[in-house]
Amino acid sequence: MRPRRFVPLLAVVLALSGAMVARTDEGAGSERDPLEGFNRKMFWFNDKVDVYVLAPVASGWEKVSPRCVRTSVSHFFGNLRFPIVAVNDLLQGKVKASGSDVGRFAVNTTVGVLGFFDPASHWGLIEHREDFGQTLGVWGVPPGPYLVLPLLGPSDPRDAAGFAVDYALAVTPFFIEEYILVGARVVDTVNERSFVLKQVEDAKASAFDYYTFVRNAYLQRRHALVRDLADTTEENQQLYYPEFDREEKP
């Protein structure tokens, strides 16, 4: 999964979505999903992979490993994301946050024993969540239509491009062989999945349409992460003050 392999995929994606970009930037529903037919198929495929492979493996891992072990593994991989977070903080002009990320990495790699523990959080160096998809959003690049990628799941052209760049950022500083990275990614994914076994099951059971549920959650969350703060914009007004609501109350 070298970054250059994403280029053809991205080219296809962007060609598919280019024309729609302008119309599909706002909202978090079907208006953002002109490729719904394709997306639903891909979503179904990913779900099968999850149900038959990922979730059982994660469930096995959950049974044999105490929570503290899984948390440490999660911290370890989180620590390795440091170049992504620090660089993207910088690219978004958050210099102070970027400095804090560097400090976090230094503390957790040393005191935190190669990142398996997270003493930095207790020292006020809290974890930030940044990626290049968000950076592009901050720079004003529109997200384009919702897009479900094979194995990677919910995305959009902006986040797919961001993912490729972040991947390069994560790899380059460590000079690691590709097969090790793929292995690491598998372990990371299984481990993270083990934390949400029940949540995913519950979400599936309670959602009226699991596809719509996930799409909306993804679009809302990415939108909020780009803005960083809750907003009092048009959408928010539509959400909390629909027109009918101003008149009568039952």
The footprint of another protein (CB under 8 A) covers 28-30, 71, 74-75, 78, 118, 121-122, 126-127, 129, 195, 198, 202, 205-209, 212-213, 215-217, 220-221, 224-225, 230, 232, 238-245, 250
CA angle 54, 188, 161 (to 5 degrees): 95
Work out how close the CB of 195 gets to another protein at its nearest, in angstroms, rounded to a whole number. Answer: 8
Closest CA relative to residue 33, chosen from 137, 136, 133, 143: 143
- Return the number of the residue (13 or 162) whose C-beta is nearest another protein: 162
Structure tokens at 48: 């099968």
Strand partners, 149: 153
3-class DSSP assignment, residue 58: helix
Q: Which CB sits closer to another protein, 13 or 130?
A: 130
CB nearer another protein, residue 109 or residue 212: 212
Q: How far apart are CB 239 and another protein at their closest, in Å?
A: 6
For residue 242, the minimal CB distance to another protein (Å) is 4
Closest approach of Cβ 85 to another protein, in Å?
Answer: 11
Q: Residue 1 or residue 126: which is nearer to another protein going by CB?
A: 126
Q: Six-digit token pair at 171?
A: 């790899």
Separation between Cα atoms, residue 196 and residue 59, nearest integer Å = 10
Question: What span, in angstroms and rounded, lies between the C-alpha atoms of 30 and 36?
Answer: 8
**Residue whose CB is less far from another protein, 63 or 198:** 198
SS3 (DSSP) at 127: coil
User: Least CB distance from residue 69 to another protein, whole Å?
Assistant: 13
Q: Which of 81, 75, 229, 73 is nearest to 163 (CA)?
A: 81
| DSSP state string for 68-108 | HHHHHHHHHHHHHTHHHHHHHHHHTT-HHHHHHHHHHHHHH
Least distance from another protein to the Cβ atom of residue 94, Å: 18
Q: Cα(229)–Cα(223) distance, rounded to whole angstroms?
A: 10
Nearer to another protein, 172 or 233 (CB): 233
Residue 55 is encoded by which pair of tokens?
């979730």
